[in-house]
Amino acid sequence: MAKVVVIGAGFGGLSLGVRLQARGYQVTLLDKQAQPGGHALRLEMGGYRFDMGPSLITAPYLLEELFQLAGRSLSAYLELIPLDPYYRIYFWDGSYLDYTGDAERMKAQLAQLSPGEEKAYDGFMAHAKAFYQAVIEEGLGARPFGWKELWSFLPAALRLGALRSAYSLAAQYFRDERLRFTFSFHPLFIGGDPFLAPAVYQMIPYLEKVGGVWYAKGGMHAVAQALARLFQELGGTLLLSTEAQEIVVRNGQAVAVRTSAGEIPADIVVSNADYLHTVTRLYPEPYRLSRLRERLVQYSMSAFLVYLGLKRTYPERLPHHTIALGPRYRGLVKDIFRRKVLAPDFSLYLHAPTRTEPAMAPPGGESLYILSPVPNLQASVNWEKEKYPYAERILTFLEEKVGLEGLRQQVAVQAFYTPLDFAEQRNCTYGAAWGPEPLLWQTAVLRPSNRSRRLPNVFLVGAGTHPGAGVPGVLLSACATEKALTEAYPLSLATAVTSGRS
Ligand SMILES: Cc1cc2nc3c(=O)[nH]c(=O)nc-3n(C[C@H](O)[C@H](O)[C@H](O)COP(=O)(O)OP(=O)(O)OC[C@H]3O[C@@H](n4cnc5c(N)ncnc54)[C@H](O)[C@@H]3O)c2cc1C
């Protein structure tokens, strides 16, 4: 049987593992972490449970598809709960919007915020739908993106204005800066700068609208655990606490992966690890990316995370998901992505899973996760020194601007996660949690491809490759990588290679 070794058990590695195992390949999935899930790890402190990274589930059909492939039903593994509103957005002036997929409720709120602008909602969503149709329904996100795909998409892309910035598309429809934020911030979910990310990423608002925003009982980590269980039930081997050190290459072909636990032979190797980590550390010489080309890859932002176990809840101020905005939008994004400086102000994303599942905290308590987008480690910030004062500023902002009164007195346990942790614990280059930035010149055919250009039997999967970051993007990347891999090495051929060698 063809042996595939996948480095990294993030959503990319897990979902590709399930796909290949279901097709009859023999997959070994290894990860340096002690838990599967990549960014979707779980932190437990004093009875409080936190998702450490992703928390918002969209496009659940992509998960359902994985279980169906294996002849199983998702509901036997996971309980998904729809959220409404999807999130609340607190604007800089104290006003707020409960963002939902319900067009009428959205329009009523837009009319209150900026009378007359509710009329633009349907037009904007129709535009977002057109992007969604190209990427999702016509399958551009689910197959390797080559020049053929580019030529077929280009006429529609030009007609729809897919190559302009996400913000400029929002500005075409809305005048009020609060609404421009509401309908342009989505690229931030996938590590993109709304003022530079191509407007095609504006398909996300439609993807949310049509598929909903969901919570998995037990949190996002429960989704990773379910996929890991499914993978193992299909006969896959999961090796945790095992770090890949190098892909072993002989005669231009990968033949094994050298790990902290010894060498694992392979007919095909897939990396779900960070892109530059893969091509500059795991690839051996002379296959590594040159220093010059390495410097040309633009990496996304990072995040500073605070996990607070609270003795009380704040249901009146915090629904399940909340975005709390500071005074600046364009300037702050510029500080994070382009100037790469730690700004004095910030905007936050908050996750309060206890709103939907009280058991995520001890009785009456709240497990509150706070994410502040920050520049990656190309900025000169001493996070060891900076994390305490930065967290203090966040707490002050939450008490004074978001109305979480007496927050400091309610803290039972707390932990931080900084860009340094992303770099050291998850091998994220520059501590950039979303991989290569989704810029026009790092999108589609210009993004690292799902099959290595240097080593024919090496493939890439996950946020760093096509179509990009975010759990749905990463699940789609597994479809694209599966296509590339199975076309290049159909089971019969891959098996012949194995038996020829043994
Ligand atoms: C804080 C945060 C919040 C987010 N929120 C959301 C959200 O709400 N919704 C959403 O859809 N997306 C969200 N995202 C994005 C989403 O989580 C990621 O894009 C996605 O999880 C990436 O999955 P992946 O499989 O590509 O890689 P990863 O999750 O990065 O997994 C890669 C794995 O490879 C392992 N690895 C690396 N090097 C090696 C090595 N040498 N040997 C062995 N193992 C190695 C790492 O330990 C890691 O486990 C968020 C991301 C972050 C960071």
What does 110-128 look like in DSSP terms, one character per residue? HHHHSTTGGGHHHHHHHHH
The pLDDT of residue 1 is: 67
Q: Is the CB of 463 under 6 A from ligand 1?
A: yes
What is the pTM assigned to this prediction? 0.96
Residues 93-100: contacts with CB under 8 Å, at least 24 apart:
93/178, 95/178, 97/178, 97/182, 98/319, 99/182
Distance 39 CA to ligand 1 centre (A): 4
Quote the Cα angle for 373-322-215, to 5°.
Answer: 100
pLDDT at 502 over 70: no
pLDDT tens figures, 437-481: 999 999 988 999 999 999 999 999 999 999 999 999 999 999 999
**What tokens were used for 474?**
């990463």
Distance 363 CA to ligand 1 centre (A): 31
Q: Distance between alpha carbon 122 and the CA centroid of its chain, in Å?
A: 27
CATH number of 3-81+217-297+435-501: 3.50.50.60
Cα-Cα-Cα-Cα dihedral sign, residues 196, 201, 203, 205: negative
Give the CA radius of gyration of the chain. 22
% of the chain residues with pLDDT over 90: 92
The pLDDT of residue 500 is: 41
Q: Is the CB of 16 under 6 A from ligand 1?
A: no
DSSP 484: H
Q: Is the CB of 30 under 6 A from ligand 1?
A: yes
Please, is 499 exposed, middle or buried when counting C-beta atoms within 10 Å of its C-beta (0-12, 13-18, 19+)?
A: exposed
User: What band does 135 get if pLDDT is binned at 50, 70 and 90?
Assistant: confident
DSSP SS3 for 203: helix
The pLDDT of residue 432 is: 98
Q: Is the CB of 280 under 6 A from ligand 1?
A: no
Atom of ligand 1 nearest to the CA of 41: 49
Q: Where are the domains of the chain?
A: 3-81+217-297+435-501, 299-426
Nearest Cα residue to atom 5 of ligand 1? 54
DSSP SS3 for 404: coil
Pair 468, 447: CB distance under 8 Å: yes
pLDDT tens figures, 104-129: 999 999 999 999 999 999 999 999 99
DSSP 323-362: EE--S-SHHHHHIIIII----S---EEEE-GGGT-GGGSS
pLDDT tens figures, 400-440: 999 999 999 999 999 999 999 999 999 999 999 999 999 99
Atom of ligand 1 nearest to the CA of 274: 37
- The DSSP bridge pattern shows strands 253-259 and 244-250 to be antiparallel
Contacts of residue 204, defined as CB under 8 A and 6 or more positions apart, other chains included, come to 58, 128, 186, 187, 189, 190, 470
Nearest Cα residue to atom 7 of ligand 1? 54
DSSP SS3 for 374: strand
How far, in Å, CA of 462 to CA of 465, rounded?
6
**What tokens were used for 418?**
């900084």
pLDDT tens figures, 289-326: 999 999 999 999 999 999 999 999 999 999 999 999 99
Backbone angles phi, psi at 329, to 5 degrees: -110, -75
**What tokens were used for 61?**
């059909």
How far, in Å, CA of 227 to CA of 438, rounded?
27
Please, is 222 exposed, middle or buried when counting C-beta atoms within 10 Å of its C-beta (0-12, 13-18, 19+)?
A: buried
HEC sequence for 153-185? HHHHHHHHCCCCEHHHHHHHHCCCHHHHHHCCC
Please, is 158 exposed, middle or buried when counting C-beta atoms within 10 Å of its C-beta (0-12, 13-18, 19+)?
A: exposed
pLDDT (mean) for 351-368: 98
Distance 315 CA to ligand 1 centre (A): 29
CA 45 to each of CA 33, 173, 259, 361, 367: distance values in angstroms, whole numbers, following the listed order: 18, 45, 31, 10, 10
pLDDT at 490 over 80: yes
Distance 461 CA to ligand 1 centre (A): 11
CA 150 to each of CA 154, 446, 462: distance values in angstroms, whole numbers, following the listed order: 6, 10, 21
Atom of ligand 1 nearest to the CA of 351: 8
Q: Is the CB of 198 under 6 A from ligand 1?
A: no
User: What band does 494 get if pLDDT is binned at 50, 70 and 90?
Assistant: low
Omega within 30 of 0 (cis) for the link into 353: no
DSSP SS3 for 315: coil
Pair 273, 282: CB distance under 8 Å: yes
Pair 227, 272: CB distance under 8 Å: no
Contacts of residue 367, defined as CB under 8 A and 6 or more positions apart, other chains included, come to 48, 49, 50, 307, 308, 309, 310, 352, 353, 354, 360, 361
- One-letter amino acid at 164 equals R
Q: Is the CB of 244 under 6 A from ligand 1?
A: yes
**What tokens were used for 472?**
């749905």
Distance 482 CA to ligand 1 centre (A): 19
pLDDT at 495 over 80: no
Distance 455 CA to ligand 1 centre (A): 24
How far, in Å, CA of 155 to CA of 97, rounded?
36
Nearest-CA neighbor of 300 among 375, 371, 195? 375
Residue in 7, 14, 39 to alter for ligand 1 test, most ligand atoms within 8 A of Cβ = 39
Distance 269 CA to ligand 1 centre (A): 19
pLDDT at 499 over 60: no
pLDDT tens figures, 253-285: 999 999 999 999 999 999 999 999 999 999 999
Distance 40 CA to ligand 1 centre (A): 7
Q: Is the CB of 36 under 6 A from ligand 1?
A: no
pLDDT (mean) for 66-83: 97
Q: Which residue(s) pair with 310 in the sheet?
A: 366, 411
pLDDT tens figures, 27-54: 999 999 999 999 999 999 999 999 999 9
Output the average pLDDT for the chain: 95
- One-letter amino acid at 444 equals A
**Better pLDDT: 215 or 500:** 215
Distance 57 CA to ligand 1 centre (A): 14
CA 67 to each of CA 144, 218, 472, 485: distance values in angstroms, whole numbers, following the listed order: 22, 18, 15, 20
Q: Is the CB of 461 under 6 A from ligand 1?
A: no
Maximal C-alpha separation, the chain: 72
Distance 391 CA to ligand 1 centre (A): 23
pLDDT tens figures, 196-239: 999 999 999 999 999 999 999 999 999 999 999 999 999 999 99
